[in-house]
Amino acid sequence: MAVKKPKPYEIGELDQYLFGQGNHYEIYKKLGAHKAKKGKKEGVYFAVWAPHARSVSVVGDFNEWNMEANPMERAEPLGIYTCFIPDVKEYDLYKFCVETYQGEFVFKADPFGNYAELRPGTASRVADLTKITWTDNVWLENRKTWKHTEQPMSIYEAHIGSWKRHPGREDDGFYNYREFAKECVNYLKDMGYTHVELIGIAEHPFDGSWGYQVIGYFAPTSRYGTPEDFAWMVNYFHRNKIGVILDWVPAHFPRDIHGLADFDGTPTYEYADPKKGEHPDWGTKIFDYGKNEVRNFLISNALFWVEQFHVDGLRVDAVASMLYLDYGKQDGQWVANKYGGNKNLEAIDFFKHLNSVVLGRNPGALMIAEESTAWPKVTGSVEDDGLGFSLKWNMGWMHDFTEYMKLDPYFRKDHHYQMTFAMSYAHSENYILVLSHDEVVHLKCSMLNKMPGLGFDKYANLKVGYAFMMGHAGKKLLFMGQEFAQLREWSEERELDWFLLAEDEHRQVQNWVRDLLHLYKRNKAMYEMDDSWDGFEWINADDASRSIFSFVRHSRGKKKNLLFVCNFTPMARDDYRVGVPRKKQYKLIMNSDDEQYGGKGEERPEIYKAVKKECDGRPFSFAYKLPPYGVAIFEF
């Protein structure tokens, strides 16, 4: 007997089978709320997974929130509830009314909903993603052959709600997605960034969580507009040749009653055992990575952002908290794995599956791990027992760099290794060097106010630090506001202090960062061999007594190379001699002493000829007048 073929929007037997196996990668097209037509009636088809519920109904604007008006039909064996409701309109509010096995009724937002009521409201909204139009096909075609290991990546980490705001408005004054896109694109093109990384996009109830406690995994936050507005923003970035990365949070979710927690009256999405299913420090729930349907929920969500909304990459938050069963827990608060260890074997398998599928289906897309431990092969291939990520945040470099930069220059000679250590492991993973939002909150100070000294010293310290970061191996990420030396710590409650750009010192730091970013983007030596020792060469990594670092970045074939000299003390070196690889001419292309960067503007030669004089273990060298906190970048 022939099996009845389900309509495109309906849940069929094959859908249930694949979802139960954890392999229904487009389940978001079936679960949730989707515009549909039954006979001649137009309406919405609703579907939700609630395996232990006694019953589920849909309540909303269209039925006056009546629990009995639109009961859903249960499909076995998974416990997926469905119903078609005619005449439901786009943007109508709705929730699922779930009757638990104890006979209680809870009202839940749609786990697969594409749009949400603006907080403090907690309902979902019907949205039709099929009407979204895209014009970024050239970008997507080029992405298929784009290789992150060989291309520049300078990432501007941004939070839309606090980037800029409209003054004097009674509401929050947020820029909407379209307004943000237009202004931010102009800014990023001027500054020389290649990508924007957005935090706080998936729907979340509390502004102060910065989007790291998600309720609506499939919904761009309504704070800044509709899903269509969000798509317009991504499309606009792509049309202007800027990649879009989103923060993604598969590690945990909040306990809010309308969210995923105890969804059907039982631990549905989270581990049932509190020792596995709760973060004591964060007060959040941990996804059950051993449950096929939960893994499917997360993997299909990653694919949703990349394939439906054309996002170029996901930065995966709190990877370490997923890999270790005892992360943030005391003895007695966690359960060992079957071998008696602290590794979450189910999370490891999840990452391998996730990265294989997302990157296998989407060549050129990125999966980026925020992983803070020495876990091996985070960016190693799954076939070689790696986790399969494209890139990893280099948290070790960030820690060493910021600790060194905080020091009074007098004491830096005793901590010289903190700036050289990262190069000893720089090629063990594909790294991004990050100075993220986490480094400028919770009394950690802004980047500028981490710097020692007063006045000139603070700004000069920051500029030499940024130059070292840009020259070091690895992709780059800088949180918004730090490129112009924001004074205050970041707060999601206000816009950045753009007024500071009226002051010379802040404008000069911005000029410095802008020119470093453009230098990075136009010189292959800065990025095309990031994953090889052939791309980086220390000239002198051991000049601790003077706290000076010199190194070369090589392009493939060494056709065009850059020499960096960075002085981390206020001591001028009027005849600083640097060893060089070859007897060539060295052209000064960036000099921190230029007036546009806040220097004295002293005239100096543009070309320096290496002579046969040993220095730094090299047969050739040349001398240069290196100012206090001076940076000199030469091309040869």
Instruction: Choose one of 485, 502, 526: the last residue of a domain.
Output: 526
Give 447-484 pLDDT, tens digit per residue. Answer: 999 999 999 999 999 999 999 999 999 999 999 999 99
Residues 68, 92 share a domain:
yes
Per-residue model confidence (pLDDT) at position 9? 75
User: Could you read off the pLDDT of 53-65 as tens digits, one per residue?
Assistant: 999 999 999 999 9
- Which residues are known catalytic residues? 317, 370
Low-confidence ranges of the chain (pLDDT < 50): 1
φ, ψ of residue 20 in degrees (nearest 5): -65, -25
Contact 588, 604 (CB under 8 A): yes
**Both 118 and 176 in a single domain?**
no
Backbone angles phi, psi at 603, to 5 degrees: -70, 140
Number of domains in the chain: 3
Q: Supply the range of the domain harboring residue 567.
A: 533-635
Asked if 510 and 542 sit in the same domain, the reply is no
Domain assignment present for 5: no
- Which candidate, 10, 24, 227, places its Cα nearest to that of 126? 227
Q: Domain for residue 6, yes or no? A: no
Residues 290 and 341 reside in one and the same domain: yes
Q: Are residues 541 and 510 in the same domain?
A: no
Position 3 scores a pLDDT of 53
Cα–chain-centroid distance for residue 36?
A: 35
Same domain? 217 vs 235: yes
CATH of the domain at 52: 2.60.40.10
- pTM for this entry: 0.96
- Do the domain assignments include residue 600? yes
- Confirm whether 145 is domain-assigned: no
Residues 6 or more apart whose CB falls under 8 angstroms from that of 603 comprise: none
Is there a single domain that holds both residue 231 and residue 372? yes
Tell whether 316 and 377 lie within a shared domain. Answer: yes
**In this structure, what CATH number is given to the domain that contains residue 297?**
3.20.20.80
From residue 287, alpha-carbon distances to 266, 284, 418 in Å are 13, 10, 37
DSSP state of 481: T
369, 395, 211, 465 alpha-carbon torsion, rounded to 10°: -130
**Residue pointed to by tokens 């009636």:** 41
Q: Residue 78: how many CB atoms within 10 A of its CB?
A: 17
* Residue 1: per-residue pLDDT: 43
516 plus 551 within the same structural domain: no
Residue 599, in any domain of the structure: yes
Report the distance separating Cα 61 and Cα 258, nearest Å. 17
Same domain, 501 and 558: no
CA-to-CA separations, 428 to 149, 392, 453, 571, 583, in angstroms, rounded: 13, 10, 36, 35, 33
Separation of CA 8 from chain center: 34
Q: Is residue 321, in this structure, part of any structural domain at all?
A: yes
Shared domain check, 106 and 198: no
141 found inside a domain: no
Contacts with 73 (C-beta within 8 Å, 6 or more apart), sequence order: 81, 82, 83
- Counting beta carbons within 10 angstroms of the beta carbon of residue 146, is it exposed (0 to 12), middle (13 to 18) or buried (19 or more)? middle
Out of 526, 548, 570, pick the residue that ends a domain: 526
Same domain? For 520 and 568 the reply is no
Domain assignment present for residue 139? The answer is no
End of a domain among 98, 131, 164? Answer: 131
Tell me the two tokens of residue 459.
């700004």
Rounded Cα distance, 511 and 599, in Å = 12
- Compute how many other C-beta atoms are within 10 angstroms of the C-beta atom of residue 603: 5
